[in-house]
Structure 1
Amino acid sequence: MNDMLKTIPDFSIDAAAALLAEHYGLSGTLSPLASERDQNFKVETAEGTFILKIVNAAEPEVESDFQTALLAHLGAHAGDLPVPHIRPALSGASLASTTGPHGVRHRIRLVSWVEGRPLAETERSDAALHALGRMLGRFDAALKGFMHPGALRDLDWDIRHAGRSAGRLQHVAAAEDRALLERFLTRFAAIAPRLAMLRAAVIHNDANDWNVLVDNGDADRISGLIDFGDALHAPVIAEVAIAAAYAGLDHADPIGAAAAIASGFHAEYPLQEEEVDLLYDLIAIRLVTSVTISASRRSHTQDNPYLAISERPAWTLLRKLDRMNPRFATAILRKACGFEAAPGARAVAGWIARNRKALAPLLERPAAAYPAALVPYGDPAHPMTVTSAAGQPDAAQAIWEAHCRENGIELGIGPFGEERTVYAGEMFVSRFIEKTRRTRHLGLDLFMAAGTKVFTPLPATVVSVEIEKEPLGYGCLIALRHEPEGCPPFVSLWGHLAHEATGRLKAGERLEAGTLVGEMGLPTENGGWAPHLHLQLSTDTNLSATEILGVGEARYLDVWAELFPDASTFAGIAGEFYERHGRSHEEIVKLRRELLLPNLSISYDNPIKFVRGEGVFLIDDSGRAYLDCFNNVCHIGHAHPVVVEAMAKQAETLNTNTRYLHDNIVAYAERLTATLPKELTVAGFVNSGSEANGLALRLMRAHTGRENAITLDWSYHGTTQELIDISPYKFRRKGGKGPKPHVHVAAVPDSYRAPDDWPVEEHGKRFAESVAELIAGMQARGEGPGFFIAESIPSVAGQVFLPEGYLKEVYRLVRAAGGVCIADEVQVGFGRVGSHWWAFETQGVVPDIVTMGKPIGDGHPMAAVVTTRAVTDSFNNGMEYFNTFGGNPVSCAVGLAVLDVIEGEDLRGNALAIGNYLMDAFRAMQARYDVIGDVRGLGLFLGIELVTDRRTKAPATEFARAVSNGARRRGVLMGTEGPHDNVLKMRPPMIFSKRDADHLIAVLEETFADVMRTLG
């Protein structure tokens, strides 16, 4: 007989019963239990139920002592763990001994019975497997610091020795099966050296689904862990791998089973990333060990079901694992333990979110600027799914395209994570979960016409350019690698492109941000789909383009979301596109009518609900981004981070009034007055441009004692009654009552509409004669002017740039008559003209009083007046001046931040350069469009006057409104101004870039062409 077989105990039930009585003084019913090397009996006695183990004679005594010591340690340090407890023999020893039928000595152990049924006989729910992981974590944690010589034995079941399976391959009959095992052995050989660097401890080492028991009444509760015959000192992660290997047998989702166990173990005994990264391979290699040992021993163990019981399902599971992408399996396991699905995945998504403003547009214009709609892709019959066999859009697609035309939709969006039942091919069957399809879209689809160009938002290196010819494939597929500073590298995938890219791009080529990637392909070359771009990001840069999953399982969407984060932000899609909040437009309009002043106007016949501002854009509640060329309040851009930070930091520290000392108010006054001519040295702080102009009038009265005002026609200076009284734009229109006796209106010094017989060089002097006449009339009545007020560039009057010398002459006349000169810089100040800080400086004058507002706080309500010492001495007449909020610490912190940005980013220089660039473009348009009568501007204060006839200069009011509305439909905001509403008014933020300017120019070109076709 084989010597190995002689050592295996082979006692009859009666012989075992005799041993029980002899050594333990017990009698009862014995039932044999399956075992590989030992002989086990279930013993039911009056004192309880036990397991009688007769140990294989070949087992060294040190190993038996090891198990005994292990159980004793657990009893002392984790007595609540559901494991067997040793019953001493009558001699008091933990072990007894006897001689077997073959004359060899066997040791005997009696341990308590652990109640429950094998996990193998249950559904192995996620809850049960998580509980198993937790119990194993507690078990291994309890063994920390425990060691015994018997734990250091050489055992084929030691996962570190799994490479020995290669020597057993000859026992595997089928060549394809050997090849399967060799693939896993090759992977194991690559990772084996890393095992020595992992944490090691004494572990159970055989938590298979027959050694794990569940509660008879609750299959989700683990009631016991038995059979410590394979316990040894090994890598801690092997405990998880072994349990997962057996839990995955005949499981519909074996990696999900492994994830549940790993998650539970991690909760009790935190795993390390490097351990989890090896888990997939360790699960597989445990199965390789199992099937090769089984194959090598089959001839000797035909009657031992223990070895063969898991062989068939083990082969099945090995084939499943072989079909999986190991990196995806590892991502699932990492995520289950709370780690990133791929190292750095969350950092990539965070970096993109933080730097979204700096990304170049993916389309010709920023994607959010296009009117967009979700493509209803979930319906299998929907047109955007697949084209007809002829490669042309079918009738249903034509319906969709008609819908887009009727509703002004230019961009269709297929979102990340969308459930799509259209994925019906064999390629969409899950490799992780049985009888499951991959139905969740993991990319971002952008639907536009074939030939639409797409550009990389970031610098990139071309990884690959390839053609997928299979139906429903990607067609032309391009992978780019991005390595932005401060961000882990990631890959962007561009699918369904035209084949032209294959001759233009090569692997290894470097692309700068904004470089053309490709064009959306026709159905005949894009896999048979309606023209669109499938854009996808991968945070795992080791995946090839064809390995990146375009569609994933719903169960693992959280994993896929980290591996393949939503590309919406990368593409420039606003988050508001996907989810609306707050009241509907109709409800807001209704409530405004009920709750607010009825003459509070709303822009546009179809009002816009803006929910966010960012840089040069305003974003509405549908996620549509509008290039803001009109709202000059946000002077340095909407929600500028420097301003927001300064505001928040000061607000959380202190905000109070000016009766107390604070650094900010004097610091801001010092900085602000430093931007002005030396004569203007004293500042007063208020909350709005209207308040600033109101304070200016108080200063004027105190200094001159007069009321007479000289104001320009069609001017506007504020909302209070005394300012309405000096604003012809208000008092000469509907609801106005005309000028009051003290208000005298001078002609608008509009050079474009000056009489033809006036020499250009005399325009300033000739228009100033209007002021001279008004002063002469006052003086004839024995009066004189109190003040002259004018915007340094009249805005409401139509972006009118004063003729050279005008203010110099007018200021001379007014001062000679005893009046003061007020420069209203509420709209045009703070460097908007580019060449100077203040627009009045372009006229070579110094006002007595300057008022400022709007741009001063980048949207924060603040304003200021700066004047001369002489004027303030007159104002200091004993009456206190106090403003509750003017000059408060928060407002001054905001004002300082605005100045910091203007100076630090040279926004004046930017305004001048971009303004000149736009003026050149506008003049080029003027040469092609007779409707453009005049183009005027300085820096980023611009106007285009439209006329029906250049000779007569008759205003083209309808055309101007049509252009303004057309630009709005195309995502650009501008206004119309002037007495005839025929001047296109543009005042974009000072951060306006050349890219933004090109966007504006393109929209104006499209709109002018469209309006010309419509109006003629």
Structure 2
Amino acid sequence: MTVPGAREQELLLAAARIARDHFGIDGTASRLHGCEGHIFRVGNEDGRLWVLKLSPDGLTDSIELQRNVLRFLSSRKPGVAIQTFRPALGGNLPRVQFDGRQWLAWMVSFLPGPVQASTPRSQRSPRELGSVMGRLDKILSGFDDDSVRRHLRWDLAQGKDLRAGRKAIKDPVRREQAGGMLERSLTIVDRLQKGLRKSVIHGDANDYNLLTSGDGKSISAVIDFGDLVESWRVAEAAIAAAYALLDSDEPVALAAEVLAGYHSQWPLNEAEIEAFLPLVEIRLCMTVIHAAMAADDGDEYSQIHAEDAWCALGVLEDRNLCRGHYQCRAACGLDSTPQTRPLTQWLAKRSADFRPVIAENLLSSAIVLDLSVGSEEFAVSSDDVETLTEKLFAHIESAGGTAGIGRYRENRSLYQSELFRSASTEARSFHLGLDLFAAADTPVMAPLDGKVLSVTDNARDLDYGPTVILQHDADGQEFFTLYGHLSPATLDHLEPGQEVGAGETIGWIGTYPSNGNWPPHLHFQVMTDMLDYQGDFPGVARPSEAWYWRGLCIDPNLMLGLDLPVDAAQDDPRH
């Protein structure tokens, strides 16, 4: 333990005198760290601990607001511990001399437990964080105090003010990066602003304002209501997520967990959910811009999260915000996309109108294949495509089938190449389309009118090979169909922008190795949104993200109309 120097000893004694003379607490003082002013822990003989705060003289309204909200919360049950406010002996906030300046002195109870910043991020629960803040904000919605309607530089509703401050970022590359991300996020939030409800929020759920239980895993207390403000309700979840995702390799997934926890306690509407990730980006921009503005003042506190925030912005910069929005919707229990439900209903109503994608006589006696993890029937590596082809088609023939069906939403062990996995994440093995196994050169037809969006050869080993994506109109709502593993002849048969009619041949089933090096089959998939993909779209997903992808890639059998059990996850509530 470091022994304070002589000057610090004098200041600690002075702090102890302030606690005794103005608050009736006779004890010893030790210094705590905070963003402004001076903070001390004061303990007396009865074992109770208090926090003495010395704040700049102009913060009377802010301190009184914190006093009022702590009194309000003391009679509620927010689910976590909240500090209590200790009145001064004279009633009013005392002005005291300390270290050559005048300060406002005030006191709150000291709560035990380490700050969450001392807990490894791998042990924290982002969903619990969101839940704690949602439950707290739901209670705060009943707090009525004119002082909460104030202008704070950390209020996300004031994000436009950051435009003037970004010039403080000296590095031109970083200045352009922050400026670009700020503008894209402000544009989205501005479009959604009418749907963003206002409420009283804590406003600063960083990991130094959260205390944890003995094991460090559960949040036991929320402290520091200095940024309490009436702002957009969803801003609370965005602020909490912006801190929680620092250092994360999967920031969007982690942020979505925070949002889901918040939504479970204090439900958000669709506009708020869409604004969530842009607000997270605005908060990160706010962190780096305020840090740049304070750098010349020697303000060390404002720099605590700055470098981590820059790293997070770097990870998020290339992420598709629509995809992130859909992840957040799914995490909150909504359909992944707003189009999912109406498109599913539209396809179901018109199921009898669609033309077959391969010859109808082939599908009339099709056999459903089990390609799932654990299937002993086709326990062959995808590297041995010749043996796999022989086994598949021998099975179809022996069963009297005319074609084979590889199921939708099936978790498979076939995808073992680097194309489907990375060092830091689980493999993509959850199938998002239907596979129709038939002889090479079998014609493939458009099930309904459409326009060719792309004709591409995804030529990597175990990729799609020649691929066609069509764009369709569902009474004003666009959607897309994908046809993978086609023959090279398909590439010269169509061109982007070409109109195709229902039943028109758009290509032919290919064979290995030119079809991506797979047994001859058509991979057929229906997508509600292309995200930012061009000429390609994931055909398999991580099993842990199946709940999200099912809304982007809806059941292809709505168009094929097969009276067969082709949805492998139909009875699995997780999917």
Could you state the TM-score of these two structures normalised by the residue count of structure 2? 0.86
Corresponding residue number in structure 2 for 1:640: none
C-alpha contact 1:11 1:101 (8 A) present in aligned 2: no
Corresponding residue number in structure 2 for 1:309: 304
CA distance in 1, matches of 2:392, 2:216: 53
2:334 aligned to which of 339, 348, 369: 339
Corresponding residue number in structure 2 for 1:23: 22
Mapping for residues 147-166 of structure 1, pairs under 5 Å: 147-166=144-163
AA of the residue aligned to 2:546: L
AA of the residue aligned to 1:412: G
CA distance in 2, matches of 1:234, 1:575: 52
CA distance in 2, matches of 1:321, 1:580: 32
CA distance in 1, matches of 2:124, 2:302: 28
2:210 aligned to which of 209, 212, 215: 212
CA distance in 1, matches of 2:535, 2:269: 30
AA of the residue aligned to 2:152: L
Mapping for residues 818-897 of structure 1, pairs under 5 Å: none
Corresponding residue number in structure 2 for 1:348: 343
Q: Structure 2, unaligned stretches of length 5 or more? A: 1-7, 571-575
Mapping for residues 507-526 of structure 1, pairs under 5 Å: 507-526=496-515
Corresponding residue number in structure 2 for 1:365: 360
User: Which deviations, in whole Å up to 9, do the C-alpha atoms of 1:833-880 show, x marking residues without a partner?
Assistant: xxxxxxxxxxxxxxxxxxxxxxxxxxxxxxxxxxxxxxxxxxxxxxxx
CA distance in 2, matches of 1:90, 1:580: 67
Identity over aligned pairs, percent = 30
1:279 aligned to which of 276, 281, 284: 276
Shift of 1:349: 2.9
Shift in alpha-carbon separation, 1:371–1:437, aligned structure 2, 3 A: closer
Corresponding residue number in structure 1 for 2:265: 268
Shift in alpha-carbon separation, 1:493–1:278, aligned structure 2, 3 A: same
CA distance in 2, matches of 1:275, 1:11: 51
Flag the structure with more relative contact order, 1 or 2, with Cα contacts below 8 A and sequence separation at least 6: 2
Shift of 1:225: 0.8
Shift in alpha-carbon separation, 1:256–1:152, aligned structure 2, 3 A: same
Could you state the TM-score of these two structures normalised by the residue count of structure 1? 0.51
AA of the residue aligned to 1:272: N
2:527 aligned to which of 538, 552, 555: 538
Shift of 1:458: 2.8
C-alpha contact 2:367 2:402 (8 A) present in aligned 1: yes
Shift of 1:254: 3.2
Mapping for residues 249-260 of structure 1, pairs under 5 Å: 249-251=246-248, 253-260=250-257
CA distance in 2, matches of 1:577, 1:195: 39
Mapping for residues 311-330 of structure 1, pairs under 5 Å: 311-330=306-325
Shift in alpha-carbon separation, 1:555–1:366, aligned structure 2, 3 A: farther
What SS is found at the alignment partner of 1:521?
coil
Corresponding residue number in structure 1 for 2:409: 417
Shift of 1:107: 1.2
Shift of 1:435: 3.5
CA distance in 2, matches of 1:524, 1:420: 21
Shift of 1:193: 1.9
What SS is found at the alignment partner of 2:457?
strand
Shift of 1:442: 1.8
C-alpha contact 1:468 1:474 (8 A) present in aligned 2: yes
What SS is found at the alignment partner of 2:282?
helix
C-alpha contact 2:451 2:472 (8 A) present in aligned 1: yes
Asked if residue 129 in structure 1 is aligned to residue 121 in structure 2, the reply is no
Corresponding residue number in structure 2 for 1:229: 226
AA of the residue aligned to 1:328: R
2:556 aligned to which of 567, 570, 573: 567
Shift in alpha-carbon separation, 1:201–1:126, aligned structure 2, 3 A: farther
What SS is found at the alignment partner of 1:35?
coil
Shift of 1:41: 1.9
C-alpha contact 2:382 2:415 (8 A) present in aligned 1: no
User: Which deviations, in whole Å up to 9, do the C-alpha atoms of 1:443-486 show, x marking residues without a partner?
Assistant: 2222222211122223333333333344443333222233345x
2:107 aligned to which of 106, 110, 113: 110
Shift of 1:520: 1.5
What SS is found at the alignment partner of 1:289?
helix
Comparing 233-242 with 38-47, which one deviates more in the overlay?
Answer: 38-47
Which structure is larger by alpha-carbon Rg, 1 or 2? 1
CA distance in 2, matches of 1:522, 1:216: 60
C-alpha contact 2:78 2:135 (8 A) present in aligned 1: no
Corresponding residue number in structure 1 for 2:420: 428
User: Which deviations, in whole Å up to 9, do the C-alpha atoms of 1:220-249 show, x marking residues without a partner?
Assistant: 3x3211111222222111100000111122
Mapping for residues 398-409 of structure 1, pairs under 5 Å: 398-409=390-401
User: Which deviations, in whole Å up to 9, do the C-alpha atoms of 1:192-243 show, x marking residues without a partner?
Assistant: 42464221222111011221222225723x3211111222222111100000
CA distance in 2, matches of 1:135, 1:212: 10
Comparing 495-504 with 14-23, which one deviates more in the overlay?
Answer: 495-504
CA distance in 2, matches of 1:114, 1:551: 48
Asked if residue 554 in structure 1 is aligned to residue 546 in structure 2, the reply is no
C-alpha contact 1:520 1:533 (8 A) present in aligned 2: yes
C-alpha contact 1:127 1:260 (8 A) present in aligned 2: no
Shift in alpha-carbon separation, 1:272–1:521, aligned structure 2, 3 A: same
AA of the residue aligned to 1:49: L
Corresponding residue number in structure 1 for 2:573: none
Mapping for residues 382-781 of structure 1, pairs under 5 Å: 385-386=382-383, 394-424=386-416, 426-429=418-421, 434-485=424-475, 488-540=477-529, 543-546=532-535, 548-577=537-566
Shift in alpha-carbon separation, 1:80–1:131, aligned structure 2, 3 A: closer
User: Which deviations, in whole Å up to 9, do the C-alpha atoms of 1:36-74 show, x marking residues without a partner?
Assistant: 2232222233262222111134x4432223222332333
C-alpha contact 1:379 1:422 (8 A) present in aligned 2: no
Corresponding residue number in structure 1 for 2:84: 85
CA distance in 1, matches of 2:364, 2:62: 73
CA distance in 2, matches of 1:451, 1:308: 63
CA distance in 1, matches of 2:487, 2:123: 45
Shift in alpha-carbon separation, 1:491–1:507, aligned structure 2, 3 A: same
AA of the residue aligned to 1:214: T
What SS is found at the alignment partner of 1:294?
helix
Corresponding residue number in structure 2 for 1:376: 371
CA distance in 2, matches of 1:180, 1:523: 44
AA of the residue aligned to 2:72: H
Corresponding residue number in structure 2 for 1:613: none
User: Which deviations, in whole Å up to 9, do the C-alpha atoms of 1:780-800 show, x marking residues without a partner?
Assistant: xxxxxxxxxxxxxxxxxxxxx
Shift in alpha-carbon separation, 1:402–1:575, aligned structure 2, 3 A: closer
CA distance in 2, matches of 1:579, 1:452: 25
What SS is found at the alignment partner of 2:554?
coil
C-alpha contact 1:262 1:337 (8 A) present in aligned 2: yes
Shift of 1:27: 2.2
Q: Structure 1, unaligned stretches of length 5 or more? A: 1-8, 388-392, 582-1016
AA of the residue aligned to 1:215: S
CA distance in 2, matches of 1:425, 1:293: 45
Shift of 1:378: 5.2
What SS is found at the alignment partner of 1:116?
coil
C-alpha contact 2:242 2:255 (8 A) present in aligned 1: yes
C-alpha contact 2:486 2:508 (8 A) present in aligned 1: yes
Comparing 561-570 with 226-235, which one deviates more in the overlay?
Answer: 561-570
Shift of 1:521: 2.4
User: Which deviations, in whole Å up to 9, do the C-alpha atoms of 1:938-980 show, x marking residues without a partner?
Assistant: xxxxxxxxxxxxxxxxxxxxxxxxxxxxxxxxxxxxxxxxxxx
CA distance in 2, matches of 1:29, 1:458: 80
Q: CA RMSD in A?
A: 3.4
CA distance in 1, matches of 2:553, 2:275: 22
What SS is found at the alignment partner of 2:40?
strand
AA of the residue aligned to 1:205: G
AA of the residue aligned to 1:447: F
CA distance in 2, matches of 1:356, 1:384: 36
C-alpha contact 2:407 2:566 (8 A) present in aligned 1: no
Shift of 1:97: 2.0
Corresponding residue number in structure 1 for 2:3: none
